[in-house]
Amino acid sequence: MTGTFLGMPTFPEAARAATADAQLRHNLRKATHTIRDKRAEAVGELDDWTRLRAAGKAVKDRTLRHLDHYLEQLEASVTAAGGQVHWAADAAEANRIVTDLVRATGERELVKVKSMATQEIGLNEALEAAGITAYETDLAELIVQLGDDLPSHILVPAIHRNRAEIREIFLREMAAWGTAAPDGLTDDPRALADAARVHLREKFLSTKVAVSGANFAVAETGTLVVLESEGNGRMCLTLPETLISVVGIEKTIPTWDDLDIFLQTLPRSSTGERMNPYTSTWTGVTPGDGPQEFHLVLLDNGRSDVLADEVGRQALRCIRCSACLNICPVYERTGGHAYGSVYPGPIGAILTPQLKGTGGELEASLPYASSLCGACYEVCPVAIDIPEVLVHLREEVASAGGAGHRVEKAAMAAAEWVLDDDRRLGLAQRAVASARSLVPRRLPGPVGAWTDTRDLPDIPEESFRQWWRTREKGKRKRS
């Protein structure tokens, strides 16, 4: 079974271990740099990128503003096309709905298309508790599942693993889950992909229930859309008898026309491709073709609260392309596990604390997991101003005054008191200057970490302010 993120340490603690892991740093650097260069090239080809980005943002904003309307429309369209719609307020309710639906089929196994929403609610664990086995069919998800590991990237959940590690996992674990890895398996990517293909094929052909997520849900027609690279998704979406799609309410878009924008921006932003290899769409059921039973579980799980926050709501525009992860210098050095949640990287740093609230220690540490360099905002295809939301959430954390923030608040207030009066600032500067010979190269206490790897600058004898004053006096005397 797959582990859980529960009980994760705060970001700085998890990051300390990650930054010290040379192999991990190497794997991540290589992967993120390759994909970011590819993205830059694919985006650079379009001369209307800025317009596409603005259009994507506008569509999402408009949909979010009238989400109640579009959701009702979506429900009506899905129902009219022969599907059934279920509403889930939180993870527990969503898991219960899916479990009951699977039980009703009499099956104990199902195949899954990679889906963030089902990871968010811990569906696999809930199904396991109910005696149902869920098989992940996305190659990277399969690696994570077989390795009893946690995903560390939105698009490439096993980004933290290299070929040699994957070979070992396949050899060790595949047999227990179904078709074993072939003898003499090498760590050649092709050989690894073939082993996965054979292993998965057996599942696709024998399993009668599938669970998917969706990248988009078109309200106008009730059509769900999945973009993927391997074709495993298409197998899951067409071969089984029953299909259950768990979709966050924010995935709704009004019309097929709107889809046009995202079919251009999503693949370029995520894999650096002009178009993704497989785009599957399904609308209700079609007699005699594909799944004969279709259920759409619409998931809230904190999204309505995010929607109510004027600054934070832009996070719901996210189309999970992962461009922000790949460009983020912090993610590059820590990997996804340090973020302790399904959504890692810059988007995770704002989405997780918003969906779960900033009460927990991990959630309260996430808004600080950024140097505010702005690279994430620059690449985001729907222009989510992640730094703005980070600062907004920091405000929430700081004003709650939790662990460590009381001292910080006092220090900030003291600094503000000095800075709110130029005479006080001048006095403070003189005090610092007169003690300059006493300031050690390495500082004690919480700011000591700064001087562990850096030397402090020399403190000058005279501030600019003092110099200016002396100069002005001299000028006046002369004139």
Applying CB under 8 A, which of residues 412, 427, 435, 439 lies at the interface with other proteins? 412
Q: Which amino acid is at 446?
A: P
399: exposed, middle or buried (Cβ count in 10 Å: 0-12, 13-18, 19+): exposed
157 touches other proteins (CB under 8 A): no
The Cα–Cα gap between 112 and 130 comes to: 17
Which of residues 66 and 454 has its CB atom nearest to other proteins in the complex?
A: 454
Look-up: residue for tokens 């003690």? 435
CA 300 to chain centre: 17
* Candidate residues 1, 104, 129, 413; the one interacting with other proteins per rule CB under 8 A: 413
> d(Cα 42, Cα 321) in Å, to the nearest integer?
14
| Least Cβ distance, residue 462 to other proteins (angstroms) | 6
Cα gap 216→225, rounded to integer Å? 5
Task: Report how far residue 432's alpha carbon sits from residue 409's, in angstroms, rounded to the nearest whole number.
Answer: 22
CA distance 415 to 170: 56
- For residues 104 and 127, the answer to whether their CB atoms sit within 8 Å is no
Shortest separation between residue 68's beta carbon and ligand SF4, angstroms: 23
Binding partner of 322, given ligand SF4, other proteins, none, CB within 5-8 angstroms per partner class:
ligand SF4
Measured from the CB of residue 372, what is the shortest distance to other proteins in angstroms? 6
- Residues between 345 and 384 with contacts to other proteins, criterion CB under 8 A: 367-375, 377-378
Choose the contact partner of 381 out of ligand SF4, other proteins, none; CB within 5 to 8 A by kind.
Answer: ligand SF4
Partner from other proteins, ligand SF4, none contacting 369, C-beta within 5 to 8 A by type: other proteins
Q: Does 251 bind ligand SF4 (CB under 6 A)?
A: no
**Binding segment for ligand SF4 among 95-103, 116-124, 333-341, 373-381 (CB under 6 A)?**
373-381
Q: What is the CA radius of gyration of the chain?
A: 26
Q: Choose the stretch contacting ligand SF4; rule: CB under 6 A; options: 7-15, 68-76, 315-323, 408-416.
A: 315-323
Q: Which residues pair with 217 in a beta bridge?
A: 224, 252
Among residues 148, 188, 462, 473, the one that binds other proteins under rule CB under 8 A: 462
Does 336 interact with ligand SF4 (rule: CB under 6 A)? Answer: no
The answer to whether the CB of 368 falls within 8 A of the CB of 11 is: yes
One-letter identity of residue 465: R
Please report whether residue 425 would count as binding other proteins according to CB under 8 A.
yes
463 near other proteins (CB under 8 A): yes
Q: Pick what 398 binds: ligand SF4, other proteins, none; C-beta below 5 to 8 Å, kind-dependent.
A: other proteins
Of 20-28, 226-234, 286-294, 313-321, the window that binds ligand SF4 (rule: CB under 6 A) is 313-321
Binding span for ligand SF4 by CB under 6 A among 181-189, 220-228, 318-326, 415-423: 318-326
Helix axes 163-177, 139-146, angle to 10 degrees: 70
Length of the chain: 479
- Residue carrying structure tokens 């996305």: 138
195 versus 379: smaller Cβ distance to ligand SF4: 379
| Residue matched to tokens 């009893």 | 148
User: Can residue 342 be called a binding residue for ligand SF4 (CB under 6 A)?
Assistant: no
Q: Which of residues 7-46 bind other proteins (CB under 8 A)?
A: 11-12, 15-16, 19-20, 25
3-state secondary structure of 389: helix
Is 8 one of the binding residues for ligand SF4 (CB under 6 A)? no
- Number of Cβ within 10 Å of residue 88's Cβ equals 21
